[in-house]
Amino acid sequence: MGSWSGHFSLLFNKEVLMLSLQCSAAWSNFAALFLQFFHLEEFTPFFLVMGTGSREFRNMSMPQLTTREEVMFFDTDCGGVVHNIAYLRMIETCRTRLAALMGMDLAEMAKTQLFPVVVRTEIDYRIPAKLGDHLEIHGVLAVIERARFWCEFKMVRKGEERPLVTCRQALAMVQMPACRPRRLPQEWKERWQSEVEAD
């Protein structure tokens, strides 16, 4: 992950969209991801406010974004509500794109063989999502430790604020193929740790 530099701001009037991110040396990769997913309306950076029971993040320099999902037949059980495993799949999509904002896009991980690995998941199922629901999954980098970091997620129906699901995941960096744990990049601590602690 290269040193962070530059400043990108965007105001798009199609829906209230504001993006203010400190962009890494891998800017070209991020720009490609942004355009690809934005046109598909699957990727929207946002001014994240986590719901009740979670800390609030209003610092736009923190890595954070929103992904969108529509509940399909294969997401539901016989009662027409979303299966508990399907929520984790949607969260994984959000987490993977959040990792790209942190300098870990898929191409870079394939090249370096250094991967973020989930070591703990805490999830609360509050309100069931149903077939045909349009969901927004908000994700943010929450905590940076010596050897692992935490991301927080909140899932809501589009246009609503009540959380359907809240989730925290701890991840560690692992070097493959030796499966050797690695410390978090020093750049992360220099860039984000003080801001995480301040919140």
Per-residue pLDDT tens over the stretch 115-146: 999 999 999 999 999 999 999 999 999 999 98
Express each pLDDT in 155-179 by its tens digit: 999 999 999 999 999 999 999 999 9
34 φ, ψ (degrees, to nearest 5): -60, -50
Residue 146 pLDDT: 86
Above 50 in pLDDT, residue 90?
yes
Above 80 in pLDDT, residue 89?
yes
Express each pLDDT in 51-68 by its tens digit: 333 444 344 478 999 999
What is the token pair recorded at 96? 């993977």
Extents of the domains making up the chain: 8-198
Percent of the chain at pLDDT > 70 equals 66
The CB density around residue 107, as the number of other CB atoms within 10 Å, is 11
C-alpha of 199 from chain center: 18
Q: Which of 138, 145, 150 is nearest to 193 (CA)?
A: 145
Name the CATH topology of 8-198: Thiol Ester Dehydrase; Chain A (3.10.129)
